[in-house]
Structure 1
Amino acid sequence: MASRSLADFSHPQDFILSILQASPSTRDSRSYLSSFAPPVSVESPSQTPALDVLPDSVPDSASSSAPRTPKPANPLVASLLNPIIRRPALVKIQGPFTDAQLNSIARGMAQLQKLGLVSVIVVDRDDIPVSEPSDAASASRQRTLVLRDVERLVHFLGRHRAPARPILATVARLAGEEEDDTAAEEEKRTPGEVFVEREGLDHIRRAVEEGEIPVLLPVALDPGCRSRRTGADKVLGALASSMSSAAPSTSASGRRTNLTPLRLLVINREGGIPSYARAGLPHLSINLASELDYIRGTFLPQWSHTHPTALSNLALANACLQHMPREASALVVSHRSPAAMIANLITNKPAHSASLPHALLVESEGRVTRDTPTLIRRGLPVRVLRSLAEVDIPRLTALLEKSFRRTLSAEGFYRRLETDLDFVIVIGDYAGAAVVTREDDGTEEGICYLDKFAVLPSHQGDGTVDFLWVALRDETYGLGLADASNPSIGSLSGKGRGRDLVWRSRADNPVNKWYFERSNGFTKSADGKWKMFWCDAEQRLREKAKEAGREFGGGRLARIVEDEERGRLDRWAPVIQSIKSAWV
């Protein structure tokens, strides 16, 4: 989604258009409405039979990857603009910002409030150190600067008809050296830990119940009852823990309030988390359970200057998401890309699908820019299993049958895998899996064939599909490249030669558009019932392009078929078409 200044959203028509441009799928709409609006009638898509690779319900996650022409009317807009349920988000305003920038951010907060998301904001400044200065004059000057930013933000929120409440009381506390030894084990805290008790949380609850945006200072009360600047990250982490564990309440007006935050928004000047795979451009989405340590380990020294708070914001997201619901997400976004916040609220997806070809996003079309936001999820661990003995067969069977809504012919399927299995990628406790085999086509290498690609219905739409496909790419057609250093357990970590990946799908499968966007090409079977897709080994394409003096375009644009490869489709097709169905 292209970046737009929130100055463009001055009129209601522009705001509605921004909602339409988010291109929410049916699943996205259901998810949003379940949290913010009364039930509405959302027509279900026509059901088609499950297919041999991916059930048609999975790749809704790809809906944000291709631009769509907004329709003039959408029956969901009325519900989107009239939410009756308010849910909170934790927001870090990471300044300093000019008046124009802060005004734009305030307009974004007002737009989110119209959609039912009440921002709980903590204002912070990068130009003020977290540690308290040694002299009283400097401490007073720092507090004055932060307090002035709180007042400025409240002012701009009011200008955009978003009532805000500055919380000047200190809602957070610092644990001291001598905590109460009689406290329950789960209530004991380490010295210096920041926490929020019920009294402090009441300030937040009252503001949210009344539809006001609470704006807080990044301070905490120490055991000596002195206000200490602790930084926004510690306050937000304490709020995530306290708000998520608070019981829902009912206000005097009868409105029921659930304080559990659904989003964490970090609005800064530096943009998303830089990616080693994207030469410093931002990650589109991050699976914390699988990628956190890898991102820290590949963080380049120069990024400490261009993105000085990237790792601390990553740590903040990790700390907060541990307390938030599994479907919750964090968005690290530049103040120059505020429209992304609206799209993220409605779809809970990154600006572009991370499973699209890297070159298609960056090198050829430039969809990913410095200001593209990074979506962060708690995610699930990823493992690569190299033998059938490592596979939990009952769990894999249950996953395939639930995902495809068909009965697996288990005996024949697993008997084939005993001889033909290459590897299985498993996400979480079999929330998703990709089964890859090595088919005999008369060559030494054979065919790298994607036999099954499945995600449980309960995990469709939460990023699992993209995480699974990215891991699949890193183990097959992306292997051998620096940006394919898959950090998953059991992976090849980018070492080796890339291999063409081939798979088939029924010709009438609505998922074929999603496949096409991720493939280098496809061909139809003679009887017209099947389409055979493939992804060329990217390492080979780059080498051939370099030898020929061509610039590598990547993605679907790099349709290079060298002389020695001619006839490979004729060699692949009969082998792929002869594979028997695994379903009863």
Structure 2
Amino acid sequence: MGTLRRQPLIGVIGIRCLEHSVHTRREVFEPSSIPCPTPVPTPSRHPFPPTQKLIFDVLSALPSQREARHFLRRFDQQPEAIASPIPPPEPAILADSARSDRLGIVCLEPHLDWDRLVAFAGTLVRLRTLGLTPVVVVDSGAVVEEDDVGDEEEEDEGREVHAREAAIREVFRVVEAIEKAGGRAMGLYNGVLNVAEEAGSGAEGLTLALAPIHAALSLNQIPVLAPTACTSPASTRMLVPTRSVLLSLARALSDSSLLGLPVKAIFANSSGGLTVRGRPVSFVNLEDEYDEMRTTVGTRAARAPYHEGPNETPDDALAVARETSTLDTLRALLAVLPRSASAVVTSADSSTGIIANLITDKPAPLTPHPVPARRGPTPPTLLRHGLPVTLHTSLTTLPLPRLTTLLDLSFQKSLLPTPFYTRLETVLDAVIMAGDFDGAAIVTKEVDPFWEETEGEEERAIAYLDKFAVRPDRQGSGVADVLWKRLRRRYPDLVWRSRADNPVNKWYFDRSDGNLKLPGGHWMMFWYGPHGLGRLNSYREATGSIPRSFAAPGESAAGGK
């Protein structure tokens, strides 16, 4: 693509139309708020047509009934409308000021190769079909490729102009990819962000006008923002940090009554999710884990199972800086967005993973055991503002009436408090509490019935998950993920049981290493950990002897046994 000519600051929105023909492409700049004519779609290179690809991604998510219902409520979807194509826009929509109820803030790494970019653009179109309207910001951190930097003696002003033009070119490359993928998009590089010269380019000095974004959304187009701002009073354009753009956009959308609520942030790149010591991180509870994560994110082990190559060092300084910056930016972004919002860091290739995350709003399960070395992007990382987590090793530090209420609400049954807490006084190992009684995991140490004195003392105890409870009004908000991550960190081996007809069992199947139906057929036993298979008989005997905790129908909880 040729060098971009500098344009005067005219009008509200700068739009570049890409007019295609068989042999040539002509670039025209128009200061306008009217959408570009959509080029005739070219045949897709993907193995599935767009609608079939959407169905494939949805089915690959394998949501449970609870997750499916939560998604449908959250995005106001009707089951028969999920796979419907985007209706063609009408000019009259502008006058109606149609509202997009669920917005996603997307930060996109620049200079992805064309096939990968078109594939990700197709994912954006499918997200829009499923009810999440993306607002895309092109990352300004690496908009100038090495070949474009020029001579080292180039003046700073020339570098700034070159970087700004590269950013705008990248915006319309994304627009072109979205239209090639069957969607509609509008590139916005003028009239959206403004900054006072004396304020600098930080988020505090930026102001964001939502009118151009609203115009694009009203025309059923995906807005693609350049990380450039107009200065006042000089009326010149400057490149601004991506973090500042994202925070300004998040604040403006959160405060707006005209546009929808931002519920998801997506950081798409070429490398995938976050890593710690060379291993993928599936979920981050920022409230509880940020400080620890910041000192280890991006680091590599001596033999990292992902991205391993002959020229890599144990700690790649560039990877550490990139992932630390991503972690810091997402923490600041989620602090601005509604508390129920979540963020995902993912490879632009991971269409199925992005769609699955939208539908289930949960992290992808990862095996806790070592995996073979392989190349390629790491699995996605889900981040939430999260909850504080407290650990209690004694019942004396807990208000038992509140814990009883949590268990009653979560299980929709009445706890038998006297026998339950009497047993816990002798076998309790820990109560992991999330938030203000939003959820709890109760773990006991059961005696291995087949333990022999010749074995070590550690082999005598079996870590048993006695109760895993989440308050009903907090289900689907990530509380279960917060508890589960803390369980996996504290207990390398764990066993538990669940009613055979429990609808939560699918969630347990995804997170266990194995399962077994106990005699009688009323209970399913689950376990994870490297010693599970070798202790199956012990697990079966121990879990089968645990007394019931809840009153039977018609039985008084106060007088139960």
The TM-score with structure 1 as length reference comes to 0.71
Residues in 1 aligned to 2:296 and 2:280: alpha-carbon distance in whole angstroms: 13
Name the SS for the 1:8 alignment partner: coil
| Partner residue in 2 for 1:273 | 274
Cα-to-partner distance string for 1:115-138 (whole Å, 9 max, x where unaligned):
3332211112543589xx952222
Secondary structure class of the residue paired with 1:429: coil
Q: Does 2:351 correspond to 1:358?
A: no
1:334 & 1:37 partners in 2: Cα distance? Answer: 28
Q: Which residue of 1 aligns with 2:220?
A: 211
1:189-227 Cα offsets, whole Å, 9 max, x none, are x994346546x1222222222212112111234455443
Alignment equivalent of 2:470, drawn from 455, 474, 481: 455
Question: What CA distance in whole angstroms lies between the structure 2 residues aligned with 1:517 and 1:215?
Answer: 36
Q: Per-residue deviation at 1:273? A: 0.7
- 1:237 equivalent to 2:247? Answer yes
1:501 counterpart (485, 494, 497):
494
Aligned to 1:292: 290
Distance 2:520 2:55 in 1: 46
Report the CA distance shift for 1:570/1:511 in structure 2 as closer, same or farther (over 3 A).
closer
Mark the CA change 1:136 to 1:426 in structure 2 (over 3 Å): closer, same or farther. Answer: same
CA contact (8 A) 1:525 1:532 kept: yes
Name the counterpart of 1:78.
81
Q: 1:383 aligns with which of 381, 390, 397?
A: 390
TM-superposition CA deviations, 1:420-476 (whole Å, max 9, x none):
322100111111101122345687644433221111122223332233122123222
Q: What amino acid is aligned across from residue 264 of structure 1 in structure 2? A: A
Query: Which protein, 1 or 2, shows the higher relative CO under an 8 Å CA cutoff with sep ≥ 6?
Result: 1
- Check the 8 A contact 2:196/2:233 in 1, yes or no: no
**What is the CA-CA distance between 1:139 and the residue it aligns to?**
1.6
What residue number does 1:429 align with?
436
Deviation at 1:96, TM superposition (A): 1.8
Shift of 1:531: 4.5
Runs of 5+ unmatched residues, structure 1: 41-75, 179-189, 250-257, 479-499, 542-557
Distance 1:83-1:139 versus aligned 2 partners, 3 A rule: closer
Cα displacement (A) at 1:581: 2.6
- Aligned residue number for residue 579 of structure 1: 547
Q: For residue 70 of structure 1, what is the aligned residue in structure 2?
A: none
The TM-score with structure 2 as length reference comes to 0.73
What is the Cα deviation at residue 572 of structure 1? 3.0
**1:69-121, CA deviations, whole angstroms, 9 ceiling, x for partnerless residues?**
xxxxxxx3533426797332111121122333333332222222233332211
Partner Cα distance (1:106, 1:9) in 2: 15
One-letter amino acid of the structure 2 residue matched with residue 416 of structure 1: R
Q: Are positions 1:559 and 2:557 aligned together?
A: no
**Following the alignment from structure 2 to structure 1, what is the Cα–Cα distance between the partners of residues 104 and 519?**
54
- Asked if 1:145 is matched to 2:176, the reply is no
Larger CA deviation: 260-269 vs 523-532:
523-532
* Cα distance in 2, alignment partners of residues 161 and 533 from structure 1: 45
1:506–1:530 Cα contact (<8 Å) kept? yes
Deviation at 1:308, TM superposition (A): 4.5
Q: C-alpha separation between the residues in 1 aligned to 2:512 and 2:396?
A: 31
**SS at 1:376 equivalent:** strand
Within a 5 Å distance, the mapping from 1:435-474 to structure 2 comes to 435-439=442-446, 445-474=460-489
Query: 1:237 deviation in Å?
Result: 1.2
1:6: Cα distance to partner? 7.9
- 2:189–2:228 CA contact under 8 A, matched in 1: no
CA distance in 1, matches of 2:228, 2:169: 14
Identity %: 36
- Corresponding residue of 2:348: 335
Q: How does 1:108-123 map to 2 (within 5 A)?
A: 108-123=123-138
Contact 1:106 1:160 in 2 (8 A): yes
- Corresponding residue pairs, total: 466
Q: Is 1:167 equivalent to 2:188 in the alignment?
A: yes
Contact 1:174–1:194 (CA under 8 A) maintained in structure 2: no
Which position in structure 2 is the counterpart of 1:220? 229
Give the aligned residue type for 2:137: V
Task: Provide the aligned C-alpha RMSD in A.
Answer: 3.4
> Structure 2, unaligned stretches of length 5 or more?
1-43, 88-98, 146-153, 300-313, 452-456, 552-556
The answer to whether the 8 Å contact 1:412/1:582 transfers is no
| 1:281–1:369 contact (8 Å) kept in structure 2 | no
Partner of 1:494: none
Task: Assess, with a 3 A threshold, how the Cα gap between structure 1 residues 342 and 525 changes in structure 2: closer, same or farther.
Answer: closer
> Which residue does the alignment assign to 2:454?
none
